[in-house]
């Protein structure tokens, strides 16, 4: 079965607006039409909604199927991701130093029968996972805690970290947002190098880190367990549809 990456979980976990057609039996159709339901009936309806995929989830799965069947990639990276990749080792090293530890990048993708993921830092002694994110400039860096929490949630790091904690058996996960001067080779002639490099350098390094912490949430992990089998089934349906449609 298809294993979904932790980084895509936030696109898969949204609640559907209605119960999926394949889950609608005559009994369920009758329940949907009822104006007054018992607590048990209402719980059944909610569980069926959890099992149903949202439009966003279906769209994401279609994209994944296209990528798996071809060499097409919906996202090949940009200057922002290039900066993060270039400075990842520095970010990991500094994330260790601020915690009085020596960290190196974790190697090896972990998986179970539903999801797969590879975190940046695995601190097994403290049941802790850390992911580092290098922001582009002062404007995009979350200097404030509420800003960092909003940025992390918008990017789906809340679901990603829950997936990691489930895979690695950890109790906490932290996202370190680091702001570093941009490597000059990643800038273009129309970029303002003063803003991307010089202004950043003027800020104390200790002020250029904002951390968002997550604790293991069994209810979110249970939702992953409930939802992903249906994502796998939809993926398999689409995959087989294209395989059967191939011209010999």
Q: Are 159 and 10 in contact (CB under 8 A)?
A: yes
Distance (Å, whole) CA 117 – CA 177: 20
CATH of 79-221, one of 3.90.320.10, 3.50.30.30, 3.40.50.1820, 3.30.70.20: 3.90.320.10
Tell me what pLDDT residue 247 has: 63
Residue 176 is predicted with a pLDDT of 99
For 221-246, the pLDDT digits (tens) are 999 999 999 999 999 999 999 887 77
Look at the block and give the residue holding tokens 């829950």: 162
Q: Is the pLDDT of residue 248 over 70?
A: no
Render pLDDT for 44-92 as a digit per residue (tens, 0 to 9).
Answer: 777 777 778 999 999 999 999 999 999 888 888 889 999 999 999 999 9
Q: What is the mean pLDDT of the chain?
A: 93
223 to 14, 203, 244: CA distances (angstroms): 10, 41, 32
- Residues of CATH 3.90.320.10 domain(s) within the chain? 79-221
127: left (phi over 0), alpha (psi -120 to 50) or beta: left
pLDDT value at residue 57: 96
How many degrees, rounded to 5, is the angle at CA 78 between CA 76 and CA 80? 135
Residue in 156, 165, 163 with CA at minimum distance from that of residue 133: 156
Look at residue 76 in the predicted model and tell me its pLDDT.
81
pLDDT, one tens digit per residue, over 149-195 is: 999 999 999 999 999 999 999 999 999 999 999 999 999 899 999 99
100: left (phi over 0), alpha (psi -120 to 50) or beta: left
User: Secondary structure of the chain: what % helix, strand, coil (to 5)?
Assistant: 55, 15, 30
245 vs 248: CA distance, rounded Å: 9
Looking at residue 177, its pLDDT comes to 99
Angle at which helix 39-51 crosses helix 218-245, to 10 degrees, equals 50
- Res 12 pLDDT > 70: yes
For 147, the token pair is 């800003």
Task: Give the pLDDT mean for 85-113.
Answer: 97
């Amino acid at each position: 079965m298809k294993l979904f990456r932790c980084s895509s979980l936030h696109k898969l976990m949204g609640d559907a607006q209605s119960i999926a057609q394949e889950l609608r039996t005559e009994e369920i159709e009758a329940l949907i039409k009822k104006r007054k339901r018992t607590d048990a009936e209402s719980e059944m309806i909610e569980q069926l909604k959890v099992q149903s995929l949202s439009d966003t989830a279906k769209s994401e799965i279609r994209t994944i199927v296209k990528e798996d069947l071809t060499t097409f990639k919906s996202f090949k990276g940009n200057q922002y991701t290039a900066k993060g990749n270039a400075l990842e080792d520095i970010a990991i090293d500094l994330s260790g130093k601020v915690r009085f530890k020596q960290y190196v990048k974790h190697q090896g993708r972990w998986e179970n029968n539903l999801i797969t993921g590879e975190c940046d830092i695995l601190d097994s002694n403290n049941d802790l996972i850390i992911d580092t994110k290098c922001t582009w400039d002062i404007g995009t860096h979350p200097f404030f805690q509420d800003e960092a929490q909003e940025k992390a949630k918008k990017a789906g790091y809340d679901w990603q970290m829950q997936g990691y904690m489930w895979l690695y058996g950890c109790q906490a996960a932290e996202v370190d947002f680091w702001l570093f001067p941009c490597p000059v080779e990643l800038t273009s002639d129309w970029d303002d190098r003063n803003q991307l490099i010089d202004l950043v350098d003027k800020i104390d390094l200790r002020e250029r880190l904002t951390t968002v912490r997550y604790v293991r949430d069994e209810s979110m992990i249970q939702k992953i367990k409930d939802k992903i089998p249906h994502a796998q089934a939809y993926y398999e349906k689409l995959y087989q549809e294209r395989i059967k449609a191939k011209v010999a």
